[in-house]
Structure 1
Amino acid sequence: MYDHRKLGRELGLFDTDPLIGAGLPYWLPDGAVVRHSLEDYIRTVERRAGYQHVYSPALGKRALYEISGHWAHYDEDMYPPMDVGGEQVVLRPSLCPHHAVMYRSRSHSYRELPLRMAELGAMYRSELSGVLGGLTRVRCIHLNDAHIFCTLDQVADEAAAALALIGSAYRAMGITDARYRLSLPGAGGKYVAAPDMWARASKILGEVLDRAGVPYEAVEGEAAFYGPKIDIQVGDHAGRESTLSTVQVDFHQPEQFDLHYIGADGARHRPVMVHRSIIGSVERAVAHLIEQHGGAFPAWLAPVQVAVLPISDAQEATAARLRDRCLDADLRVRILSAQDGSLGARVRETRLVPYQFVIGPAEADDDAVAVRLRDGRRLPALPAGDVIARVRALVQAHDTRLWD
């Protein structure tokens, strides 16, 4: 496995600077492409699954986190409050209190539930310098977060659907080494004191995992302060394990924020809150993808998807037209002309690009391309239009295959 901190910098994906600060990486153009591709993918998946996307501010009054319980149970990971206009304002450590307030701002009927609210938003953790590293552990996190407000009868199905979305996303990203964990409370005062609530939520998540048929380990002391969770664990180059995706059942915050809906009987009822993150934080997801794929990302994530390689100057005009056709097909493309070195040198330079389109005299005359795939396969000359259409279809399907 590769070290994403070293390889990510070598590939020009991200970097850090002491002037910006530890745990605050910046994204370079190629890294921004990978990030945008992930964000576009997850927003599309969520929209198709019935989620409504929102935006909420990265700041909140201290009172917000006192109500949610973060101030009492999570304050060591939060930044100190700032005095602004006579109020104390905090950089948020989590998006869920904002979403609870947004739910509370409107009345809701049981007919609207489940209500699925999603946001890819920034949150801030006061991490110690000694645990920071590359993209894996940062102080400003961009989380693919969502909160589902539902009835008790709907909780298991919503949690199971979220788990299925995680499996689908991992297949698209080519993640094959994930491990499932049922994270339960442990001893001590870091957890909300409500034994019946913990037992009910833990039972639901255990049944969801059993129904999914995935092997998992129950571990005490790893739950969120307000409820148990399913954690999907991945490893890094040094053998350390971290959580990438989660599904959580929360009875606590709906109570704290006095959330309710009007049931079929006309009375007020308390919803249950399911927290879930499909790809986790963008930073940690990209770190894992760099290490797993060594920079050879699935084609839909690759910063450059097609390298056009004319054999000589005589094919430059044809190469430019082919580039424009790739751009029209929403493919990310780069020309390396004969002036950039020998064909062999250009092939080596673009070894991480999924598709290399080689154009010689015969291909230029026939409107064809000779395709070299990143895995070493070489295809015979094929009509350029057919090749572009095939590559576009594989990219749009988020297929990890390079060809049939």
Structure 2
Amino acid sequence: MCAPPGSSSRPPHHREETAMHDHRRLGRELDLFDTDPLIGAGLPYWLPDGAAVRHTLEEYVRQAERAAGYRHVYSPALGKRELYELSGHWGHYSDDMFPPMRLGAEEVVLRPSLCPHHALIYRARSRSYRELPLRLAELGAMYRSEPSGVLGGLTRVRSIQLNDAHVFCTLDQVVEEAGAALTLIARAYADLGIRAARYRLSLPGDGGKYVADPALWRRATALLREVLDESGLQYEEVEGEAAFYGPKIDVQIADPAGREATLSTVQIDFHQPERFDLHYVGADGARHRPVMVHRSVIGSMERAVAHLIEEHGGAFPAWLAPVQLAVLPVAEAQYALAEAVVREAAARGLRAALSGPEDGTLGARIRAARLVPYQAVIGDREAGAGLASVRLRDGRRPGALPVDELLGRIADRVAARSTALWE
């Protein structure tokens, strides 16, 4: 089994690179997100370019989930206190929840997790074994009462937009469903140009924060070991990192300084189906208890974007970049044509921005767009022939191309979610 990345001393150039790629600094410099004391600590807001990255990421994961057979739902970010008492969150997790709010005779709580709501959606209808596995997914808000001392940038926040899903299945479907979730995670990491630092089987530790049901823990842990062994992944077992209701597979990532965090998870849960008295009617006509598989492909939007900023130093894969094409007219005479190129790019679903002479010299504008995957320079010669001189972020210059061909090539790379800029 693989060991966690070491924390050995790093050379000065690495420390400089680590500081340069800190998402808290770079994210603000690139106008991706910011904070305001009137909104509060741990509550960042997304600026237009950051919102473009987040929206693209959300659409990516929705499409991947639809292709994998998931159905999407929406559920409220509030629930009655009794809901979380039933799920076990109130008894095991209330220190990390915001205090209840009084509404007449009731108390409502900002949810710390989406799973209780999905359990209610499942039990709202009678279910047959023919419906299983039932895969419910949601990009939903949840809230954690994080201490101010641990808050930072996008990695530790109090308002979280989570890519969450719950699969309700029979016992003999569990291993396949959990393994399929790991496959989804691996594919997403490849498309995003990131990698897992290690895989961790997170087990319970000492103390009362865990559900007291040894048989439950043994069954769930054995199944997760089977999933990991069948996947061929190396992993490490770590005590004290489980969810309060069951063990989980944590996919760990590392920042440029080597600090680890959990991005993606797969969990097997026997506890909440019992607490919510969930059933399905089997082929024998009798009622049976489903198993609940929790999984998150890319975790929270906040932590995912923070890691992408640091992993790529702001130079996102072209399909994810907030601006995919910078259009640079050399002089005022080419401005109208440059505007037409931006409009045509938008019609093809590309994110393009125009930077004209009013923004500085051509050299200064090229430098300012250094993180944009593609630059189209239009001078007198190009304008007269309907061309654009192409510059790539990595320094290559494929030359002058017809505008239509250039936009088609970029659109193809973006649609393929390729990490390569050009072929």
Do both proteins adopt the same fold according to a TM-score greater than 0.5, normalized to the shorter chain? yes
Q: Which residue of the partner structure matches residue 45 of structure 1?
A: 64
Q: Which residue of the partner structure matches residue 390 of structure 1?
A: 409
1:218 aligns with 2:237: yes
Seen in structure 2, the aligned counterparts of structure 1 residues 177 and 252 have a Cα distance that, compared at 3 Å, is closer
The amino acid across from 1:208 in the alignment is: V
Q: Which residue of the partner structure matches residue 421 of structure 2?
A: 402
1:84 aligns with 2:96: no
Q: Which residue of the partner structure matches residue 120 of structure 1?
A: 139
The amino acid across from 1:75 in the alignment is: S
Q: Which residue of the partner structure matches residue 378 of structure 2?
A: 359
Assess if the C-alpha contact under 8 Å between 2:34 and 2:46 holds in 1: yes
Query: Where does 1:159-198 land on structure 2 (aligned, <5 Å)?
Result: 159-198=178-217
For 1:341 and 1:14, locate their aligned partners in 2 and report how far apart those are by CA, in whole Å.
25
**What SS does structure 2 have at the residue aligned with 1:18?**
coil
- Residue of 222, 245, 252 corresponding to 1:233: 252
For 1:177 and 1:161, locate their aligned partners in 2 and report how far apart those are by CA, in whole Å.
17
**What SS does structure 2 have at the residue aligned with 1:74?**
helix
Q: Which residue of the partner structure matches residue 132 of structure 1?
A: 151
Query: Where does 1:202-351 land on structure 2 (aligned, <5 Å)?
Result: 202-351=221-370
For 2:196 and 2:115, locate their aligned partners in 1 and report how far apart those are by CA, in whole Å.
29
For 1:272 and 1:179, locate their aligned partners in 2 and report how far apart those are by CA, in whole Å.
26
Q: How far does residue 383 in structure 1 lie from its aligned partner after superposition? A: 2.2
Assess if the C-alpha contact under 8 Å between 2:196 and 2:251 holds in 1: no
**What SS does structure 1 have at the residue aligned with 2:399?**
coil
**What SS does structure 1 have at the residue aligned with 2:261?**
strand
Q: How far does residue 239 in structure 1 lie from its aligned partner after superposition? A: 2.9
- Residue of 54, 75, 79 corresponding to 1:60: 79
Q: Considering only aligned residues, what root-mean-square deviation do their CA atoms show, in Å?
A: 1.1
Q: Compute the TM-score of the two structures, normalised by the length of structure 1.
A: 0.98
The amino acid across from 1:162 in the alignment is: A
Structure 1 residue ranges without an equivalent (≥5): none
The amino acid across from 1:393 in the alignment is: D
For 1:212 and 1:352, locate their aligned partners in 2 and report how far apart those are by CA, in whole Å.
36
For 1:370 and 1:215, locate their aligned partners in 2 and report how far apart those are by CA, in whole Å.
47
The amino acid across from 1:181 in the alignment is: R
For 2:421 and 2:256, locate their aligned partners in 1 and report how far apart those are by CA, in whole Å.
25
Assess if the C-alpha contact under 8 Å between 2:391 and 2:399 holds in 1: no
For 2:333 and 2:30, locate their aligned partners in 1 and report how far apart those are by CA, in whole Å.
31
Deviations 1:74-98 (A, max 9, x none): 1110111111120111111000000
Q: How far does residue 317 in structure 1 lie from its aligned partner after superposition? A: 2.2
For 2:149 and 2:354, locate their aligned partners in 1 and report how far apart those are by CA, in whole Å.
43
The amino acid across from 1:375 in the alignment is: D
1:109 aligns with 2:160: no
The percentage of counterpart residues that share the same residue type is 70
**What SS does structure 1 have at the residue aligned with 2:344?**
helix
For 1:243 and 1:359, locate their aligned partners in 2 and report how far apart those are by CA, in whole Å.
45
- Residue of 92, 100, 113 corresponding to 1:73: 92
For 1:49 and 1:130, locate their aligned partners in 2 and report how far apart those are by CA, in whole Å.
39
1:29 aligns with 2:40: no
**What SS does structure 1 have at the residue aligned with 2:156?**
coil
The amino acid across from 2:291 in the alignment is: V
Q: Compute the TM-score of the two structures, normalised by the length of structure 2.
A: 0.94
Q: How far does residue 343 in structure 1 lie from its aligned partner after superposition? A: 1.5
Structure 2 residue ranges without an equivalent (≥5): 1-17
**What SS does structure 2 have at the residue aligned with 1:381?**
strand
For 1:42 and 1:177, locate their aligned partners in 2 and report how far apart those are by CA, in whole Å.
18
Q: Which aligned runs of 4 or more in structure 1 are off by greater than 4 angstroms?
A: none
- Alignment: residue pair count: 404
For 2:379 and 2:102, locate their aligned partners in 1 and report how far apart those are by CA, in whole Å.
67
For 2:187 and 2:422, locate their aligned partners in 1 and report how far apart those are by CA, in whole Å.
20
Q: How far does residue 332 in structure 1 lie from its aligned partner after superposition? A: 0.5
Q: How far does residue 177 in structure 1 lie from its aligned partner after superposition? A: 4.5
For 1:203 and 1:302, locate their aligned partners in 2 and report how far apart those are by CA, in whole Å.
41
Deviations 1:126-153 (A, max 9, x none): 1111111111000111100000000011
Task: After superposing the two structures, state which structure 1 stretch, 341-350 or 277-286, moved more.
Answer: 341-350
For 1:176 and 1:77, locate their aligned partners in 2 and report how far apart those are by CA, in whole Å.
29
**What SS does structure 1 have at the residue aligned with 2:161?**
strand
Q: How far does residue 366 in structure 1 lie from its aligned partner after superposition? A: 2.3
